[in-house]
Structure 1
């Protein structure tokens, strides 16, 4: 099955959503700081990005790693689209 492609911003939001749905984290009311996904060469499992150094994650590391690995299996990281803003002065 082909992976769906997503931008870094969307992957970060998806990981954050899933992390904050983990029962222990939701029950504790902990807010985890989710880092930006970092691209890397495709590994043996076909993953092309990873995340490290979550903030306020002490005690939840294994559960967070499971979420990140699941999202890495589902989605490839693609470059954020470049949005060109037209010059309002017409130069």
Structure 2
């Protein structure tokens, strides 16, 4: 399966969205802090990012891990750097 690519902010938002729609999370009213993804060398599956140190996730580690596994299978972190000299690209 070919992964779609997202920038760090969009990837963080996607993981956050999926975590906070889980029944257990909604039911308990927990707000889990989702860290920014960190670029890494592609692993054996081809995923080039990871996330560590979720805040307020005690007791929900399995749920977070399941979401992370699913998102890592679907998306890679964009490695394209923006041209700071010309933000308009013209």
Q: TM-score, normalization: structure 2?
A: 0.87
Gaps of 5+ in 2: none
Gaps of 5+ in 1: 87-91
Asked if structure 2 preserves the Cα contact closer than 8 Å seen for 1:3 and 1:75, the reply is yes
Q: Which has the larger radius of gyration?
A: 1
Once the two structures are TM-superposed, the CA of residue 73 in structure 1 deviates from its matched residue by 0.4
Alignment of 1:1-91 (within 5 A): 1-79=1-79, 82=82, 84-85=86-87
Asked if structure 2 preserves the Cα contact closer than 8 Å seen for 1:33 and 1:54, the reply is yes
Structure 1 vs Structure 2 CA RMSD:
1.6
User: Would the alpha carbon gap of residues 80 and 20 (structure 1) be closer, same or farther in structure 2, given more than 3 Å must change?
Assistant: farther
Asked if structure 2 preserves the Cα contact closer than 8 Å seen for 1:8 and 1:79, the reply is no
SS of alignment partner, residue 9 of structure 1: helix
Once the two structures are TM-superposed, the CA of residue 79 in structure 1 deviates from its matched residue by 3.3
The ranges of structure 1 where at least 4 consecutive aligned residues each deviate by more than 3 angstroms after the TM superposition are 83-86
Asked if structure 2 preserves the Cα contact closer than 8 Å seen for 1:49 and 1:76, the reply is yes
Q: TM-score, normalization: structure 1?
A: 0.87
Deviations 1:20-65 (A, max 9, x none): 0111111011100000001110111111101110000000001101
